[in-house]
Amino acid sequence: MQERKGRQKRYHIPNDEEVTAAIIEVMIEKGTVHSQKRLRDLVSDVLRETDASYHVSERRVRHLAIASRMIHVEAHCYESVEEMSQSTCPVCSSKLTSLRNKTIFGGTVVLARECPVCGYWSGRHARVPVRYVFTLSRDAKRRLSTASKKGIL
């Protein structure tokens, strides 16, 4: 444990592989989880079976779920009144790509921005994620089914 200002941390941070395995275990059991907080709580329960002091944040669970390529993440958003100015995805922190259109004067204008990793998109006004829905992808179900038939799992 690391010390900070004379106090010891009361938790440990699990590595990415442990968290990803816990996410997949939870998603195999549940299929769909309708909240980022709920998924984090379920993953924490699985991790704490290994080490009671393990802690993981909601954001880290979301990022590792997306990175696993086995979990589909749907972001429910509301449209802000502010103009879209961000260049990174608020869901997975990847760089957003711009969808451009040519003007009649020969210039270009950005119509929307989208994320190539998670599918988030935003038009002229920023879309702010407010709820995440996590689902085990069809491809993951097929791969896990094949692996269990072969005795790998």
Please report, for the chain, the start and end positions of each structural domain, with discontinuous segments joined by +.
Answer: 7-140
Question: Exposure string (b/e) for 56-78, b if CB count within 10 Å is 16 or more?
Answer: bebebbbbbbbebebbbbbbebe
The neighbouring-strand residues paired with 95 are 88
Mean predicted confidence (pLDDT) in 73-98: 91
Percent of the chain with pLDDT strictly greater than 90: 71
Distance between CA 34 and CA 135 in Å, rounded? 9
The one-character DSSP state at 98 is: E
Residue 135 in tokens: 């689902």
Question: pLDDT value at position 147?
Answer: 67
Q: Which range, 27-36, 78-87, 103-112, 138-147, is most confident?
A: 27-36
pLDDT band at 4 (very low <50, low <70, confident <90, very high): low
Please determine, for residue 142, whether its predicted confidence score (pLDDT) is greater than 60: yes
Residues in the chain: 153
Higher pLDDT, 35 or 4: 35
Please determine, for residue 129, whether its predicted confidence score (pLDDT) is greater than 80: yes
Q: Angle of helix 36-50 relative to helix 58-67, nearest 10 degrees? A: 90
Please give the C-alpha separations between residue 23 and each of 9, 27, 44, 119, 137, in angstroms, as whole numbers. 24, 6, 9, 20, 13
Please determine, for residue 1, whether its predicted confidence score (pLDDT) is greater than 50: no
Residue 35 in tokens: 């909240």
The neighbouring-strand residues paired with 83 are 125
pTM of the entire predicted model: 0.81
Question: pLDDT value at position 138?
Answer: 82
Please determine, for residue 30, whether its predicted confidence score (pLDDT) is greater than 80: yes
